[in-house]
Amino acid sequence: MSSDHIDSAQRIIYLLSKKLKHPLSKEEEEEIQSWKKISSKNEKLFQELTTGPSVRFLLKELQKYNVERSIDRLKHQMVRHHTKRRWSYYVVAASIILAIGLGALMSRYHDSFYELYRNDIQPGQYVAQLTLPDGSSIALDSMQIGETASRNGMVITKSGNGKISCNYSASGIDQPETNQPPNFNTISTPLGGEYQVILPDGSTVWLNANSTLKFPSQFQKSERYIELIGEGYFEIKNNDHAPFKVAVNKQIITVLGTKFNVLAYHEEDIIRTTLLEGAIKISTSKSNHILKPGQEARVHKDSEHMEVFPGDINEAIAWKNGYFIFNNENIKTIMQKVSRWYNVEVVYEGDVNEIAVGGMFSKTKSLQKLLKSFQSTGQIRYKIIGRRVIIMPE
């Protein structure tokens, strides 16, 4: 069986066991429902594992097996295996002392397998919150697909898993275009969240984890203005009469119609903007630059100094396509991205400044699987304790 099949089965195990114990999020519930619909075999299994009496019956079946007796049997066989070898008494004594010493040391660092087992950290999900100008908020992940919410002149429709579209309600359109500052809506993703938003003009924004998008309840006729904190990928609809403007920290990106990615987290010193198609103008208080497709602009937050490089488009938008792509990137900046998506804390023991990793990694796998891939480069080792990850040089 290919590893993909067993991965999907393990995902279903995770969701169904979670469902027995806690309510699932709407997205998780939808994932299970889709799986259920694939075959009548899935449907039957779903019923079996979500009905009290059948789960009770299965639990009784498991209880039939006596682990203690089996362990005793096994221990006898393990002793027999060991005594087949001939050790001198001195070597045996020395190795016992060493083992006891090591045991004491090991026990301080060994995670209980059960704890590891219960805490295998899952990747991020489609989670986001929309806050309207009146201060009320909607958890977008709790909306059903097809559901709409209508408030403050905006109609928000959940168009798919992790996707919403915003439109003006009829009453909203009549608002006069004046000097009145527009009211703003805010969409934020938490650590471990991501979401896709279609704005009233038809432009689409993908928001990465720990990011915020602010847009007005009414785009002005002469310009479309939004603000971004964190990371977003934009596909902007062309409108010659109303350039699209993205404010990022103190930088402003002016767009006519185009596709680009902006990386601007609070914790980072540099704002990175990569252009895929079209043309954008990047303005700071010190300079302007028009970017060409394939180029990346880096602006230092404090000095506002701007540099333009040939960019790597695949690397910049990998996150939106379900991957991490690293081009020989330092392990610390890699773990920054990993910590946002998995919502974990990262600490380093030892010197990791020279360690770089390259490659393409799926971001929908569990954290352990991802770290295992990093470890196989032979440069680092890791430990996961609860929601803290420790990275050590090899």
25 touching other proteins, by CB under 8 A? no
113 touching other proteins, by CB under 8 A? yes
Distance CA 160, CA 274 (A): 27
114 touching other proteins, by CB under 8 A? yes
Interaction with other proteins in 200-219: which residues (CB under 8 A)? none
Of 372, 386, 387, 388, the one binding other proteins by CB under 8 A:
372
CB of 365 to other proteins, least distance (A): 9
* Nearest residue (CB) to other proteins, 100 versus 290: 100
* Nearest residue (CB) to other proteins, 105 versus 145: 105
236 touching other proteins, by CB under 8 A? no
Angle at 202 (CA atoms; ends 199, 205), nearest 5 degrees: 50
CB of 349 to other proteins, least distance (A): 9
96 touching other proteins, by CB under 8 A? no
* Nearest residue (CB) to other proteins, 132 versus 380: 380
Of 131, 169, 336, 366, the one binding other proteins by CB under 8 A:
366
347 touching other proteins, by CB under 8 A? no
Angle at 257 (CA atoms; ends 251, 258), nearest 5 degrees: 75
369 touching other proteins, by CB under 8 A? yes
Of 25, 27, 45, 359, the one binding other proteins by CB under 8 A:
45
DSSP per-residue letters across 298-340: EEETTT--EEEEE--HHHHHGGGGTEEEEEEEEHHHHHHHHHH
83 touching other proteins, by CB under 8 A? no
Q: What is the helix, strand, coil percentage profile of the chain, to 5?
A: 35, 35, 30
Check the CA dihedral 369-382-113-99 and report its sign. Answer: positive
Distance CA 394, CA 382 (A): 9
DSSP per-residue letters across 152-203: TTEEEEEEETTEEEEEE-HHHHTS--SSSPPPEEEEE--TTB-EEEE-TTS-
Residue 172 phi/psi, 5-degree rounding, is: -65, -40
Task: Provide the binding-site residues for other proteins, judged by CB under 8 A.
Answer: 1, 3, 5-6, 9-10, 12-13, 16-17, 19-23, 41-42, 45, 48-52, 55-56, 58-65, 67, 70-71, 73-74, 77-78, 81, 106-107, 109-110, 112-114, 116-117, 120, 366, 368-369, 372, 375, 381-383, 392
